[in-house]
Structure 1
Amino acid sequence: MAEQRYPMTAEGKQKLEQELEDLKLKKRPEIIERIKIARSFGDLSENSEYSSAKDEQSVVESRISEIKTMLQYADVVDVSQVDANEVAVGKTVTFQEADEDPETYQIVGAAESDPLHGKISNESPIAQSLLGQKVGAEVEIMTPGGSFMVTITAVNN
């Protein structure tokens, strides 16, 4: 079975590497120390500090595993290999719906998506509709809330 690939920008990969380092070198040791301290309180069956620390340890270990997998199967995009006017992962696209203000988003891998900061996942309905299109193209974007037409006005690296 082929492994899932994780498209991401070089910046997104670097952020994941930093998060992994922080989790392994700071967060994990802090939790281990909390578990040690909580164990010293005695009966573990009614020890809320111990339960809380173990729960947090589980979350941190899951995130470490998830990040390791994403980094192992990362596909770092090279926007220089794509036509300058073509929408691709790693590029910033500006589009406009008739009589509306233009919207600008960077299309990134799902792991680094942050819509509130203008970064949308390549798996989102908007990105899926825009990927491969070029400046000037009129594109129908299908979303769960309905469809709408936009014109791509700019694509930048």
Structure 2
Amino acid sequence: MEYMSQEGYDKLVAELHHLETVELPQVRDAIAEARDKGDLSENFEYHAAKREQGRLLSQIRFRQRVLENARVINKSLLGDGSVGLLCKVEMTNMNTNSRMSYTIVSPHEANLREGKISIKSPIAQALLGKGVGDVVEVRVPAGLMKLRIEGITL
């Protein structure tokens, strides 16, 4: 089972719809066009279009499986003052004295540019269940990181 926000669920549904209604028909047209050119054994366009079709069908199946197992979390039911899924956590890196803010989301919604980290990441795993003022140590590729939780919002 995959827990996610309504926003993440809607985005996945839109991606699936786009793949099925826009990209897949384009690839099928490319296959038909390449097939009309003759000998398929030496037809590069045909083989490239078939590979693209396989890639698209794989992406479609993956998104369908994620959506089948997805459970949208009702944010109003969350919030006991500790870090959890869909919480925005403000913290201070005590090694560099810099502040950062991340929202903890499902792995399918993670996007570092948007400040969303996966619940399965080392930082999120260390923060889970902690409260404001707690200090956690996280082993990351760059070494040991000490973080102090400054605030938690939904």
Same fold (TM over 0.5): yes
Aligned partners of 1:82, 1:39: CA distance in 2, in Å?
Answer: 55
Does residue 128 (structure 1) correspond to residue 125 (structure 2)? The answer is yes
In the TM superposition, structure 1's runs of 4+ consecutive aligned residues that sit over 3 Å from their partners are none
Q: Deviation of residue 100 (structure 1)?
A: 2.2
Q: Deviation of residue 89 (structure 1)?
A: 1.1
Given the alignment, which residue of 4, 12, 19 partners 1:8?
A: 4
Does residue 64 (structure 1) correspond to residue 73 (structure 2)? The answer is no
In structure 1, the residue corresponding to 2:108 is in which secondary structure? Answer: helix
Note the 1:129-148 alignment, pairs <5 A.
129-148=126-145
Note the 1:52-131 alignment, pairs <5 A.
52-83=48-79, 85-98=81-94, 99-131=96-128
Q: Paired residue for 1:34?
A: 30
Given that 1:85 and 1:154 are in contact with CA atoms closer than 8 Å, whether structure 2 keeps it comes out as no
Given that 1:84 and 1:156 are in contact with CA atoms closer than 8 Å, whether structure 2 keeps it comes out as no
Aligned partners of 1:55, 1:100: CA distance in 2, in Å?
Answer: 49
Given that 1:108 and 1:120 are in contact with CA atoms closer than 8 Å, whether structure 2 keeps it comes out as yes
Please, what TM-score do these two structures have when normalized by structure 1? 0.91
Does residue 48 (structure 1) correspond to residue 50 (structure 2)? The answer is no
Q: Deviation of residue 147 (structure 1)?
A: 1.9
Aligned partners of 1:119, 1:29: CA distance in 2, in Å?
Answer: 33
Q: Deviation of residue 84 (structure 1)?
A: 5.0
Please, what TM-score do these two structures have when normalized by structure 2? 0.93
Structure 2 stretches lacking a partner, 5+ long: none
Given that 1:120 and 1:127 are in contact with CA atoms closer than 8 Å, whether structure 2 keeps it comes out as yes
> Equivalent pairs: percent with the same residue?
36
Amino acid at match of 1:145: A
The alignment of Structure 1 onto Structure 2 pairs a total of residues equal to 153
CA-atom RMSD, angstroms? Answer: 1.3
Aligned partners of 1:71, 1:111: CA distance in 2, in Å?
Answer: 11
